[in-house]
Protein backbone atom coordinates (compact mmCIF):
# COMPACT_ATOMS: atom_id res chain seq x y z
CA UNK A 1 0.00 0.00 0.00
CA UNK A 2 2.84 2.36 0.76
CA UNK A 3 3.80 2.58 -2.92
CA UNK A 4 0.40 4.16 -3.68
CA UNK A 5 0.53 6.71 -0.85
CA UNK A 6 2.32 10.00 -0.24
CA UNK A 7 4.83 10.50 2.56
CA UNK A 8 2.22 12.62 4.40
CA UNK A 9 -0.37 9.81 4.35
CA UNK A 10 -0.60 7.42 7.29
CA UNK A 11 -1.73 3.79 7.43
CA UNK A 12 -3.20 2.43 10.67
CA UNK A 13 -4.12 -1.13 11.49
CA UNK A 14 -7.74 -1.09 12.58
CA UNK A 15 -9.10 -4.41 13.73
CA UNK A 16 -7.90 -7.83 12.65
CA UNK A 17 -7.83 -7.49 8.88
CA UNK A 18 -8.82 -3.86 8.49
CA UNK A 19 -6.71 -0.80 7.90
CA UNK A 20 -7.45 2.91 7.92
CA UNK A 21 -5.58 5.34 5.72
CA UNK A 22 -5.45 9.01 6.65
CA UNK A 23 -5.02 11.22 3.58
CA UNK A 24 -4.31 14.74 4.77
CA UNK A 25 -5.56 17.67 2.67
CA UNK A 26 -7.25 15.41 0.12
CA UNK A 27 -10.59 16.21 -1.52
CA UNK A 28 -13.24 13.53 -2.04
CA UNK A 29 -12.27 12.84 -5.65
CA UNK A 30 -8.61 12.43 -4.70
CA UNK A 31 -9.51 10.06 -1.84
CA UNK A 32 -11.64 7.98 -4.22
CA UNK A 33 -8.77 7.84 -6.71
CA UNK A 34 -6.33 6.68 -4.02
CA UNK A 35 -8.78 4.03 -2.83
CA UNK A 36 -9.19 2.74 -6.38
CA UNK A 37 -5.41 2.63 -6.88
CA UNK A 38 -5.02 0.67 -3.62
CA UNK A 39 -7.75 -1.77 -4.68
CA UNK A 40 -6.15 -2.31 -8.07
CA UNK A 41 -2.61 -2.61 -6.67
CA UNK A 42 -3.55 -5.28 -4.13
CA UNK A 43 -5.79 -7.14 -6.58
CA UNK A 44 -3.01 -7.21 -9.16
CA UNK A 45 -0.52 -8.97 -6.90
CA UNK A 46 0.00 -12.68 -6.44
CA UNK A 47 1.19 -13.89 -3.04
CA UNK A 48 2.90 -17.00 -1.78
CA UNK A 49 3.87 -19.50 -4.43
CA UNK A 50 1.90 -17.62 -7.04
CA UNK A 51 -1.44 -19.14 -6.25
CA UNK A 52 -2.88 -16.73 -3.71
CA UNK A 53 -4.79 -13.71 -4.96
CA UNK A 54 -6.17 -11.16 -2.54
CA UNK A 55 -8.79 -8.49 -3.11
CA UNK A 56 -9.75 -5.60 -0.88
CA UNK A 57 -12.89 -3.60 -0.33
CA UNK A 58 -12.72 0.02 0.74
CA UNK A 59 -15.08 2.54 2.30
CA UNK A 60 -14.19 6.20 1.81
CA UNK A 61 -15.22 9.04 4.14
CA UNK A 62 -14.11 12.64 3.71
CA UNK A 63 -14.50 15.60 6.05
CA UNK A 64 -16.28 17.85 6.44
CA UNK A 65 -19.09 16.30 4.34
CA UNK A 66 -19.03 12.97 6.19
CA UNK A 67 -18.18 14.43 9.59
CA UNK A 68 -15.64 16.53 11.40
CA UNK A 69 -14.70 14.23 14.27
CA UNK A 70 -12.33 11.35 13.62
CA UNK A 71 -14.79 8.95 15.24
CA UNK A 72 -17.55 10.05 12.84
CA UNK A 73 -15.31 9.66 9.79
CA UNK A 74 -14.29 6.18 10.92
CA UNK A 75 -17.95 5.23 11.48
CA UNK A 76 -18.96 6.41 8.00
CA UNK A 77 -15.96 4.74 6.31
CA UNK A 78 -16.74 1.51 8.20
CA UNK A 79 -20.39 1.59 7.06
CA UNK A 80 -19.24 2.03 3.47
CA UNK A 81 -16.71 -0.79 3.86
CA UNK A 82 -19.47 -3.15 4.97
CA UNK A 83 -21.60 -1.97 2.04
CA UNK A 84 -18.74 -2.82 -0.33
CA UNK A 85 -18.45 -6.29 1.18
CA UNK A 86 -22.22 -6.78 1.01
CA UNK A 87 -22.25 -5.80 -2.68
CA UNK A 88 -19.74 -8.51 -3.54
CA UNK A 89 -16.32 -7.36 -2.36
CA UNK A 90 -13.38 -5.98 -4.38
CA UNK A 91 -15.07 -2.56 -4.47
CA UNK A 92 -14.70 1.05 -3.44
CA UNK A 93 -17.77 2.69 -1.91
CA UNK A 94 -17.73 6.46 -1.50
CA UNK A 95 -20.28 9.09 -0.56
CA UNK A 96 -20.99 9.63 -4.23
CA UNK A 97 -23.52 7.48 -6.04
CA UNK A 98 -20.83 5.56 -7.92
CA UNK A 99 -19.44 2.22 -6.81
CA UNK A 100 -16.39 0.90 -8.58
CA UNK A 101 -15.98 -2.76 -9.34
CA UNK A 102 -13.38 -4.73 -11.17
CA UNK A 103 -13.94 -8.46 -11.25
Catalytic residues: 17
Contact of 84 with 93, CB cutoff 8 Å? yes
Instruction: Name the 3-class secondary structure at 59.
Output: strand
Within the chain, what is the greatest distance between any pair of CA atoms?
Answer: 44
Integer Cα distance of 34 and 29 in angstroms: 9
Distance CA 45, CA 56 (A): 12
Cα separation values, 56 from 8, 25, 71, Å = 22, 24, 22
Amino acid sequence: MAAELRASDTVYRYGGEEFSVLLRDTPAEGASDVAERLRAAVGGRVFGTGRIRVTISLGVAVGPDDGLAVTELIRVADERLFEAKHLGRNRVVTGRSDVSVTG
